[in-house]
Amino acid sequence: MLKYKISSITKTAGDIKIIRMIPIAESLKFRSGQFVIMHFLDGQGNSIDKRPYSIASEPNSPYLEFCIKMVGGRFTSKLDLLGEGAVVGIEGPMGVMGYEGEKCVFICGGTGIAPIMSMVRDIAQKRKNGSFFVFNSAKNRETLIYYDELLQLEKKNPSLHIIVSLTREEPKGWAGRCGRIGGVLLHEYVANPEEYSWYVCGPLEMSSAIRECISAMGADPKRVHVEGWG
């Protein structure tokens, strides 16, 4: 277990916080898309509570970034009270969701965007060539996470295509899409589903529905990776 110090906390999209941490000594080596176990530590550095969180930063970043919804649970209620300078334990990395190939579709909702951001940031930073689609959904404009950065990453790498949809609002001047992500929208952009690797992360109901949708579209089951919660 490595020790990390919180370097910044940014409130965004209601009760969601973007937390960045820097290593106290050794830094974590990971692949984009992986997650870690975050530990609360006692005065002697022993773990007293823990919870898994996906990493949102890319592997070459000097810090670890997490996108966490403060739901008032056993762990988040304590995490919500921490400030800059607090020290936590980081165990990992874990998970096998890292992207592969030059044709990928990423679909996410809510804080499920965290591992997707890690992969998309990595693609943009390395200026990877290929065909990469990112479908992100939120209830309304105020609950979107990383929206401005996604648009900037799209400008940075022309292989990236960002499609953002609002499910419960059609705000005036909105340049994105409206409605839930489904087969009609996906088919509009992804002409040959079987040629792509698919990465889905979000609430369980959404993730399950998307899995059924892309299966019906003809996606290769061996190339479909889904993470859901709830």
pTM of the model: 0.95
Q: What domains are there in the chain, each with its CATH number? A: 2-94 (2.40.30.10), 103-229 (3.40.50.80)
C-alpha span between 100 and 158 (Å, rounded): 18
How confident is the model over 158-167, as pLDDT tens digits?
999 999 999 9
Q: Token digits for 132?
A: 């990469």
Q: What b/e sequence results for 75-109 when a residue is b if at least 16 CB atoms lie within 10 Å of its CB, and e otherwise? A: bbeebeeeeeebebbbebbebebbbeeebbbbbbb
In this structure, are residues 118 and 18 in contact, taking their beta carbons and an 8 Å threshold?
no
- Write out the chain's pLDDT in tens, 230 residues: 999 999 999 999 889 999 999 999 999 999 999 999 999 999 899 999 999 999 999 999 999 999 999 999 999 999 999 999 999 999 999 998 889 999 999 999 999 999 999 999 999 999 999 999 999 999 999 999 999 999 999 999 999 999 999 999 988 889 899 999 999 999 999 999 999 999 999 999 999 999 999 999 999 999 999 998 87
